[in-house]
Amino acid sequence: MVQGVLSRISGPVVQATGMRGSQINELVKVGEMQLLGEIIALKGERASIQVYEDTSGLRPGEKVEGTGAPLSVELGPGLLSGVFDGIQRPLAAIREESGDFIARGVQVPSLDRKAKWQFNPSVKNGSHAETGDVLGTVQEFNIEHRIMAPAGVKGKVEGIQSGKFTITHAICKIGGKEVTLMQKWPVRLPRPVREKKHFEPPLVTGKRIMDTFFPLAKGGAAAIPGPFGSGKTVNQTDLAKYSDTEMVVYVGCGERGNEMTEVLETFPRLVDPKTGKPLMQRTVLIANTSNMPVAAREASIYTGITIAEYFRDMGYDVAVMADSTSRWAEAMREISGRMEEMPGEEGYPAYLGKKLAEFYERAGRVWCLGSGSHNRSGSVTVVGAVSPPGGDLSEPVSQSTLRVTKVFWALDSALSRRRHYPAINWLKSYSLYLGELREWYEKNVSPEFYELRGQAMALLQKEAELQNIVQLIGPDALPDKERLVLEATKMIREDFLQQNSYDEVDAYSTLRKQYWMLKTVLHFHSKANSALALEVPLAKILESPSRQKIAVLKRTVDKDVEGKCRAIIHELDGEFAK
Ligand X SMILES: Nc1ncnc2c1ncn2[C@@H]1O[C@H](COP(=O)(O)OP(=O)(O)O)[C@@H](O)[C@H]1O
Query: Which residues make up the interface to Mg ion (CB under 5 A)?
Result: 232-233
Going by C-alpha positions, the residue among 191, 198, 242 that lies closest to residue 218 is: 198
Query: Which one of Mg ion, ligand X, none is in contact with 440 (Cβ closer than 5 to 8 A by kind)?
Result: none
Is 288 a binding residue for ligand X by CB under 6 A? The answer is: no
Strands 134-140 and 143-148: antiparallel
Instruction: Tell me whether residue 232 or residue 338 sits nearer to Mg ion (CB atom).
Output: 232
DSSP conformation class of 477: G
Query: Which one of Mg ion, ligand X, none is in contact with 500 (Cβ closer than 5 to 8 A by kind)?
Result: ligand X
3-state secondary structure of 281: helix
- CB-nearest residue to Mg ion: 233
223 forms beta bridges with 384, 408
* Cβ count within 10 A of residue 222: 28
Is 233 a binding residue for ligand X by CB under 6 A? The answer is: yes
Instruction: Tell me whether residue 75 or residue 210 sits nearer to ligand X (CB atom).
Output: 210
Phi, psi of 534 (to 5 degrees): -90, 10
Binding flags for ligand X, 419-448, as an x/- string (CB under 6 A): --xx--------------------------
3-state secondary structure of 115: coil
Query: Which one of Mg ion, ligand X, none is in contact with 457 (Cβ closer than 5 to 8 A by kind)?
Result: none
For residues 89-103, one letter each, b for 16 or more C-beta atoms within 10 angstroms of the residue's C-beta and e for the rest, the string is bbbebbeeeeeeebe
Using the contact rule CB under 6 A, the part of the chain among 30-38, 175-183, 327-335, 498-506 near ligand X is 498-506
Query: Which one of Mg ion, ligand X, none is in contact with 101 (Cβ closer than 5 to 8 A by kind)?
Result: none
Instruction: Tell me whether residue 145 or residue 232 sits nearer to Mg ion (CB atom).
Output: 232
Residues 6+ apart with CB under 8 A from 66: 1, 2, 3, 4, 19, 21, 22, 26, 28
Query: Which one of ligand X, Mg ion, none is in contact with 413 (Cβ closer than 5 to 8 A by kind)?
Result: none
Choice from 11, 109, 190, 229 touching ligand X (CB under 6 A): 229
Is 226 a binding residue for ligand X by CB under 6 A? The answer is: yes
Choice from 98, 500, 510, 529 touching ligand X (CB under 6 A): 500
Query: Which one of Mg ion, ligand X, none is in contact with 364 (Cβ closer than 5 to 8 A by kind)?
Result: none
Closest CB 511 distance from ligand X, rounded Å: 19
Instruction: Tell me whether residue 233 or residue 377 sits nearer to Mg ion (CB atom).
Output: 233
Helix spans in 56-207 (H): 91-98
Is 290 a binding residue for ligand X by CB under 6 A? The answer is: no
Instruction: Tell me whether residue 382 or residue 485 sits nearer to ligand X (CB atom).
Output: 382
Query: Which one of ligand X, Mg ion, none is in contact with 82 (Cβ closer than 5 to 8 A by kind)?
Result: none
Instruction: Tell me whether residue 411 or residue 531 sits nearer to ligand X (CB atom).
Output: 411
Distance CA 557, CA 106 (A): 51
Closest CB 44 distance from ligand X, rounded Å: 45
* Cβ count within 10 A of residue 23: 15
Distance CA 219, CA 79 (A): 21
Closest CB 220 distance from Mg ion, rounded Å: 22
Instruction: Kindly provide the residue ranges of all beta strands, DSSP E only, lying in 2-127, ordered along the sequence.
Output: 3-10, 13-17, 26-30, 35-43, 46-51, 63-70, 72-75, 83-84, 117-121
Residue 149 has, within 13 A of its CA and on its CB side, a CA count of 29
Q: Binding residues for ligand X, how many (CB under 6 A)?
A: 14
* Cβ count within 10 A of residue 196: 11
Using the contact rule CB under 6 A, the part of the chain among 143-151, 228-236, 281-289, 547-555 near ligand X is 228-236
Is 5 a binding residue for ligand X by CB under 6 A? The answer is: no
DSSP conformation class of 401: H
Is 206 a binding residue for ligand X by CB under 6 A? The answer is: no
Choice from 65, 154, 155, 228 touching ligand X (CB under 6 A): 228
Is the bond into 98 cis (omega within 30 degrees of 0)?
Answer: no
Q: Which helix (H) or strand (E) holds 1?
A: none
Binding flags for ligand X, 386-405, as an x/- string (CB under 6 A): --------------------
Closest CB 266 distance from Mg ion, rounded Å: 11
Q: Do 413 and 368 form a contact (C-beta atoms < 8 A)? A: no
Strands 317-323 and 46-51: unpaired
Choice from 93, 108, 234, 457 touching ligand X (CB under 6 A): 234
Instruction: Tell me whether residue 421 or residue 496 sits nearer to ligand X (CB atom).
Output: 421
Q: What is the dihedral of CA 386, 388, 394, 399, to 10 degrees?
A: -20
Is 509 a binding residue for ligand X by CB under 6 A? The answer is: no
Sequence-separated contacts (24+) of 568-571 with Cβ below 8 Å: 568/520, 569/519, 569/520, 569/523, 571/545, 571/546
Is 254 a binding residue for ligand X by CB under 6 A? The answer is: no
The contact set with ligand X (CB under 6 A) reads 226, 228-234, 416, 421-422, 500-502
